[in-house]
Amino acid sequence: DEINHFIEVLKSHDGKPLDVKQPLSPSVSNNICALVFGKRYEYDHPERKFLDTNVEYEFENFSQTSSDTLFPWIRKIPFASKFLSHDHMGDVLKDYISFFQKKINEHKKTFDPSNVRDFIDRYLTEIDTQKEKNPGSTFSEEMLVSNIIDVFDAGSETIRTSIHWFVYSMAAFPDTQKKVQQEIMDVIGTERQPEYIDMRSMPYTHAVILELMRWKSIVPLDLVHYTLSDSTVGGYEIPKGTTIIANFWNAHHDPRYWDEPDKFKPERFLSKDGKSVVKSSNFMAFSLGRRVCPGESMAYLEMFLYFTSMLQKFDIVFPEGTKATFEAKLKLTYRLEPYLIRFVPKS
């Protein structure tokens, strides 16, 4: 179990300060590897490190607000590529494609449709099925590679960034941490591991997760879309072909819809008696409509299990003399600057 391995790594530090992102990144990455490849890697395995390095490069060097994203015509200017965010992205993508195609080829050598092992096997099965039923199907190995890239990019960076924020926030708000820990003791106790079904009985913990995603809006801006036809929205005329970037940060910090939006208040997602979660229609951490994030369920699953597993075993505190500053930078995700934290084993 990947989370158990992560917890054991935290225990090995004996409550001393550490950069939690160092064990967190490979742990979250391994969850995706298990889903896609049917295997986990040791933290220092070259293939796993290759995946993390590529994801890190993409999210550190690309932005929805880069000049060539907002104004694509700039790319046509001679020598402009030297100064654009996409300059080296093509090389990264080629390496990515080559790596995943190699994994697909390895799967094909041992592929047995009666024994589906992982996402790649399931997709290969669907390719064969669609060939018989629908010759014009878009299911192909090229689309499989594209899907795998999407899963790794979205499924690793957003989760680890969310957990990174959670750890920091629990140290910054010890009263909130104690409430979550009390709920863990009441519902789960100390003798068994947390399970996803437990979240139904843990409204405060659920509310903390929702509030964290609203308050820090890990993905402040949606991916770039464009209109397929002339449209009218809220009285505004939007021509066909217009670039659209939804501003989730603004939606989550609009005082018309959120009381004291800049404050961390998990209670805003709870009923008056605190016994159930009340999810606002203004909450859009996973986007809305037909383009809603397909990984929403998996994100809740991972965040809940990591959060509760950590707080079941540890008190999360800052090193002596450290104060919360919440220093962060905006890339594709809203990332905290590196920090040290202590995981003190609970007695």
Is the per-residue pLDDT at 75 higher than 60? no
321: phi > 0 → left, psi -120 to 50 → alpha, else beta; which?
A: left
pLDDT of residue 63: 59
- CA 136 – CA 186 distance, rounded (Å): 55
Is the per-residue pLDDT at 278 higher than 70? yes
Whether residue 263 contacts residue 122, with contact meaning beta carbons closer than 8 Å, is answered with: no
User: Which residue would you say has higher pLDDT here, 119 or 58?
Assistant: 119
pLDDT tier for residue 96 given thresholds of 50, 70 and 90: confident
Mean pLDDT over residues 247-272, rounded?
96
pLDDT tier for residue 105 given thresholds of 50, 70 and 90: very high
Mark the binding-site residues, compressed into ranges.
293
pLDDT digits (tens, 9 = 90+) for 19-41: 999 999 999 999 999 999 999 99
Mean pLDDT of the chain: 90
- CA 69 – CA 221 distance, rounded (Å): 13
pLDDT of residue 69: 57
- CA 43 – CA 49 distance, rounded (Å): 8
Is the per-residue pLDDT at 82 higher than 70? no
* The two three-digit tokens of residue 103, written as one number: 């994994």
The widest CA-to-CA distance across the chain, in whole angstroms, is: 66
pLDDT of residue 79: 52
Mean pLDDT over residues 144-169, rounded?
92
Mark the binding-site residues for heme, compressed into ranges.
293
Please, which residues bridge with residue 344 across strands?
Answer: 315
Q: Which residue carries 């909130």 as its tokens?
A: 176
Instruction: Spell out the domains of the chain, with CATH numbers in brackets.
Output: 1-345 (1.10.630.10)
Most confident of 76-85, 229-238, 288-297: 229-238
pLDDT tier for residue 293 given thresholds of 50, 70 and 90: confident
